[in-house]
Amino acid sequence: MNFKTLSILLFFSFPYFTNAQSKIKLFNQKDFRGWYVYEPTLGKQKDASKIFHVDKKMIRLYGDKIAYLMSEKSFGNFQLTVEFRWNTDSTFSRKSNKKNSGIMYLIPPETPDVLWPKGIQFQIKEAATGDFVFLQDVTLSINGKRTEPGKSVTSARFTDAEKPYGEWNTAVITSFNGKIKQELNGKLVNEGIDPMISEGRILLQYEGYPIDFRKIIIKQP
């Protein structure tokens, strides 16, 4: 099966998500309710404000500790919308100058907290935003070929769609009945079928370069 045929099949098999469907705001723009933070030396912390901050209706990830935010709830069939941008304010502390982050999803509830847990990642990275990254032996079929299991396996995006440094981007991730689609700023950047996991939590990565997140919404059919 070629890429064009796969794209057509996936297009007609994905549900049309509308505002009338069940919508959950994972971020209330006030605090970290519904999330916890994990940092290797401190472990799991229910109070995420010990490491990260909410300011001006944004989640602001920065500092000298690599860590992540994890949703307390798990989700099956969904469409996840996340807005993000690199933080250009030089006063924000950082651990690295390498622009690298990500949105992980389908992280099984039983998966232990580690850097990084089992799941699928929408890569946010300079010159690589939109790549799939499969963590801890997760696999997916892309264009008729199964990805190889491994600790961290990347499948490159189909096209570049990231906005210029410092501007807001919109990532849309759809997972429905064994079909996964990643979109960035209105463009399809990756897709595949038959993931080995079909339900799980959402995670926002901080890998050392300051990044902001704001709109984080899940729709379910």
pLDDT digits 0-9 by tens, 68-80: 999 999 999 999 9
The CATH number assigned to the domain holding 118 equals 2.60.120.560
The conformation of residue 4, written as its DSSP 8-state character, comes to H
Q: What is the model's pLDDT at position 35?
A: 98
Q: Any idea which residue has 């990347």 for tokens?
A: 154
Side-chain-facing half-sphere of 40: CA atoms under 13 Å: 9
Distance, CA of 131 to CA of 156 (rounded, Å)? 5
**Residue 22 confidence (pLDDT):** 86
Average pLDDT, the chain: 93
Residue 98: what residue type? Answer: K
Please give the Cα distance from 54 to 173 (Å, whole number).
Answer: 23
Taking only the tens place, the pLDDT of each residue in 122-153 is 999 999 999 999 999 999 999 999 999 999 99
Q: Is the pLDDT of residue 16 over 80?
A: no
Token pair 């901080």: residue: 206
Alpha-carbon span 93 to 62, nearest angstrom: 6
With a CB cutoff of 8 Å and minimum separation 6, the contacts of 211 are 61, 62, 84, 85, 86, 87, 101, 124
What total number of domains does the chain contain? 1
User: Is the pLDDT at 168 greater than 60, yes or no?
Assistant: yes
Domain enclosing residue 191, as ranges: 3-220
C-alpha distances out from residue 95 to 65, 100, 162, 204, 209, Å? 7, 11, 23, 17, 7
Instruction: Pick the range with the lowest mean pLDDT from 12-16, 46-50, 57-61, 102-106.
Output: 12-16
Residue 6 above 70 pLDDT? no
Phi and psi torsions of 18, nearest 5°? -125, 170
Confidence band of 182 (pLDDT split at 50, 70, 90): very high
Query: For residues 196 and 139, is the Cβ–Cβ distance under 8 A?
Result: yes
pLDDT digits (tens, 9 = 90+) for 39-75: 999 999 999 999 999 999 999 999 999 999 999 999 9
Q: Which residue has the higher pLDDT, 148 or 8?
A: 148
DSSP state of 11: H
Give the C-alpha separation, 24 to 219, whole Å.
6
Distance CA 193, CA 11 (A): 12
Q: What is the pTM of this model?
A: 0.92
Verify cis geometry, omega within 30 degrees of 0, for the bond prior to 116. Answer: yes
